[in-house]
Amino acid sequence: MNYEYFIAKRIIGSKAYKSSISAPIIKIGIAAIAIGIVVMMVAIATGIGLQQKIRDKVVAFNGHVIISNFDSNNSQESLVPISKNQDFYPEFKSVDGIKHIQAVATKFGVIRTETDFEGVVLKGVGADYDWDYFKDFLVEGRLPDYTKKRNEDVLMSEYIANRLKFKVGDKFQMIFAKDDPNKLPNIITYTIVGIYNSGFQDFDATYVIGDIRHIQRINNWDDDQIGNFEVFIDDYSQLKQKGIEIYQNTPSTLNTQTISDKYYSIFEWIKIFDKNIYGIIAIMILVAGINMITALLVLILERTQMIGILKALGSNNWSIRKLFLYNASYLIVLGLLWGNIIGLGLLFAQKYFKLFPLDPTVYYVSEAPVYINFAYILALNIGTLVLCMVMLLVPSYMITKISPVKAIKFE
């Protein structure tokens, strides 16, 4: 029988233990563990959630890798066309891990109303376009269908619709300038069939999604000419490697660019979240550990006579240290239990009720996103327990310095 565990269990269950002088210190130690685990869970969940949400929104408008022509065009408008007759289209068979590839084109235009106007980019898409991301963004109406004959249905952002006072079913004129200033511009009347809100204001303020065949007609392109290809991969963690493989398996006349390179500042910014998470975890574990060290020292001082009696009865130092470490582990587990209940409650409340909004102009999202994965929660609990127990080994060494004779006489 493990007598150290037995004695520790009796101490924990005794009424004297719960009403002792050390009780407030113990409660503070438990609260420190609980608060620490809550803060760490929230930091990880919101940090990873924000990274994934921002990343997915950038991917929705660009794909993971963009294949385009080599040119000096830094604008968002497709100027030099690419032929769709490529070995890698419509299926990129030469590289593993490619989920989808689609052909798109962009054209700058001006939306004109009776009282206002707005400069936007028409993103032309075709029958091969993957609407999965925009299904989540759709707030009103439906997604357009470009699988049949050319049509004038468009998907407009809620941001642009509100600025121009549009709603689903409204028609509007969009003006496209010609390269030759002496020629009259193209004017197309579009119908809004759906309104989306990605929460990424930079994109929402820019893009209207329409039929690519309109851009081909305006630019005098052939049916097989497009602006660029957007490639989607299965695993984002392999983005850099897949970007290199895609580049190696495309013609020398074409260039490839990953979204992390195209939007370098955004992806460098969200990388900072990792450092913040590590910093918060280190601080919280340190604070929780210090509080538990204080609680353990108080427990040892309060049980000095018991330590002397156990030594007099033949118990060695390590056996008595184990007794107090069992006691401390119970307090840590209790703190972790309450911390997990509170932390998961907050995370699920935010996930389903959106309690904490964010400024989309700063964070690119309208509410704090959370990423809940029980693997990292389990790792966080185990890591906190192990590190706190390791930190408690040092103060428990104090027991070896206690003399049985003096300890029994200790008041």
Residue 388 has pLDDT above 80, yes or no: yes
Residue-level pLDDT at 394: 86
Q: Can you name the residues that pair with 171 across neighbouring β-strands?
A: 191
**Is the CB of residue 228 less than 8 Å from the CB of residue 80?**
no
Residue-level pLDDT at 16: 53
Give me the amino acid identity at 202: D
* Nearest CA-CA partner of 157 in 173, 137, 129: 137
pLDDT tens-place string over residues 36-81: 999 999 999 999 999 999 999 999 999 999 999 887 455 678 888 9
Burial 257-294 (b: 16+ CB within 10 A, else e): bbbbeebeebbeebeebeeebeebbeebbeebbebbbb
Average pLDDT over residues 19-41: 86
| Percent of the chain scoring above 70 in pLDDT | 94
Residue 407 has pLDDT above 70, yes or no: no
**Is the CB of residue 267 less than 8 Å from the CB of residue 133?**
no
How sure is the predictor about 409, in pLDDT bands with cuts at 50, 70 and 90? Answer: low
Q: Can you name the residues that pair with 194 across neighbouring β-strands?
A: 141, 155
Residue-level pLDDT at 406: 66
pLDDT tens-place string over residues 172-204: 999 998 877 778 889 999 999 999 999 888 899
What is the average pLDDT score of the chain?
89
How sure is the predictor about 171, in pLDDT bands with cuts at 50, 70 and 90? Answer: very high
Residue 20 has pLDDT above 70, yes or no: no
**Is the CB of residue 144 less than 8 Å from the CB of residue 123?**
no
131 Cβ contact partners less than 8 Å away, ≥ 6 residues apart: 143
DSSP letter assigned to residue 357: B
- Alpha carbon distance 288, 28 (integer Å): 10
Residue 205 has pLDDT above 90, yes or no: yes
Residue-level pLDDT at 378: 95
Residue-level pLDDT at 29: 87
Residue-level pLDDT at 411: 54
How sure is the predictor about 215, in pLDDT bands with cuts at 50, 70 and 90? Answer: very high
Average pLDDT over residues 330-348: 95
- Alpha carbon distance 154, 211 (integer Å): 8
Residue 400 has pLDDT above 60, yes or no: yes
How sure is the predictor about 266, in pLDDT bands with cuts at 50, 70 and 90? Answer: very high
How sure is the predictor about 405, in pLDDT bands with cuts at 50, 70 and 90? Answer: low
